């Protein structure tokens, strides 16, 4: 990379590896995020006002990667939004309070640290033999919505990736009895804050490599001590096993989330089965079910 270009790079990328493999990795993550932003219209490029997004930074590899990719897109002129980083300190024992403020200040990133002791609330209401994540997540999301309103942000931006979406799909399928994953874009119940996931088609393995190459100061996600029994961990292990047996199966599953056939499912709210032709001749040879003609 020419020195003139290096001199203009965002601070987050100033010391990135000058290798072919990293260049391909960076390009892939940025391209995937931009495709999600455009396909699902995460930003209105024709809007006369410039939106402000609140990027939720937990200190894990995914949120670091999200922030870096968004700043990269802004640097390339492909993302016309203002960014505010928000970290929510939930009072978990051992949380390193200085890591994120120091890192964000070092790189000149606009940020806000919010301290709310939700950990005490959760541990008081949930017994030690149960996982804290459901209640913790609800409390966290409510606080983040409030902060977004205070800061004039139209959206919360989260670092969920392809593998998160697949794990959620499997949890809903096996435990919730429904077909649902994580959408790239949704709006809260009040209708005033969007939730955006630009990395929703990106592989977790790519974000792991990205984080290692850029040496992000990772904060462990198990500070609450409640991670071992999570259903999500079980889903991850199951998908890992499938991936080992059939490499590429995660990407095949991810494509399925974009290729839905309501007429081949059993939800009459999505497909009007009453309008199907009853004449057998009309259907014969014109459709298949599991590859077998009717």
Q: Which two tokens mark 19?
A: 């290798």
Cα 193 to its chain centre, rounded Å, is: 16
Give the whole-angstrom CA distance, residue 256 versus residue 247: 16
> What proportions of the chain, in percent to the nearest 5, are helix, strand and coil?
45, 10, 45
The domain in which residue 21 lies consists of 3-256
Task: Report yes or no on 60 lying in a domain.
Answer: yes
pLDDT number for residue 275? 83
Express each pLDDT in 87-119 by its tens digit.
Answer: 988 777 788 889 999 999 999 999 999 988 777
Question: Is the residue at 273 inside a domain?
Answer: no
Determine the Cα–Cα distance for residues 121 and 123; give it in Å rounded to an integer. 6
With cut-offs at 50, 70 and 90, classify the pLDDT of residue 249.
very high
For the stretch 119-172, pLDDT in tens is 777 776 666 656 666 666 778 888 999 999 999 999 999 999 999 999 999 999
pLDDT of residue 79: 97
Q: For residue 280, is it within any domain?
A: no
- The number of folded domains in the chain is 1
pLDDT at 293: 44
Sign of torsion over alpha carbons 27, 33, 36, 42: negative
Q: Are the C-beta atoms of 167 and 239 separated by less than 8 Å?
A: yes
Where is average pLDDT lowest: 8-17, 35-44, 284-293? 284-293
pLDDT band with cut points at 50, 70 and 90 for residue 207? very high
Q: What is the pTM of this model?
A: 0.87
Residue 289: inside a domain: no
Domain assignment of residue 177, yes or no: yes
Residue 61 within any structural domain of the chain? yes
The CATH number that applies at residue 200 is 3.40.50.620
């Amino acid at each position: 990379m020419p020195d003139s270009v290096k001199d203009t790079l965002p601070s987050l990328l100033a010391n990135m590896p000058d290798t072919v493999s990293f260049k391909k990795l960076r390009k892939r993550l940025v391209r995937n995020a931009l495709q999600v932003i455009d396909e699902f219209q995460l930003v209105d490029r024709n809007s006369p006002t410039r939106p402000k997004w609140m990027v939720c930074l937990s200190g894990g590899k995914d949120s670091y990667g999200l922030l870096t990719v968004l700043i990269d897109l802004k640097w390339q002129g492909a993302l016309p939004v203002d960014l505010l980083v928000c970290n929510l300190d939930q009072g978990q024992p051992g949380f390193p309070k200085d890591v994120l403020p120091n890192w964000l200040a070092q790189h000149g990133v606009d940020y806000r640290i919010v301290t709310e002791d939700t950990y005490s609330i959760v541990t008081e209401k949930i017994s030690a033999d149960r996982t804290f994540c459901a209640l913790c997540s609800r409390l966290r999301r409510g606080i983040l919505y409030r902060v977004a309103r205070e800061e004039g942000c139209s959206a919360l931006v989260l670092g969920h990736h392809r593998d998160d979406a697949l794990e959620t799909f499997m949890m809903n399928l096996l435990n919730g009895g429904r077909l649902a994953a994580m959408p790239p874009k949704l709006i809260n119940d009040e209708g005033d804050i969007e939730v955006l996931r630009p990395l929703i088609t990106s592989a977790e393995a790519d974000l792991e490599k990205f984080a290692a190459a850029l040496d992000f100061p990772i904060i462990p996600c198990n500070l609450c001590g409640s991670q071992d029994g999570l259903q999500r961990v079980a889903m991850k292990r199951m998908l890992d096993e499938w991936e080992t047996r059939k490499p590429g199966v995660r990407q095949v599953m991810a494509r399925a989330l974009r290729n839905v056939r309501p007429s081949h499912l059993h939800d009459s709210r999505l497909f009007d089965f009453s309008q199907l032709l009853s004449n057998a001749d009309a259907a014969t040879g014109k459709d298949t079910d599991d590859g077998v003609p009717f």
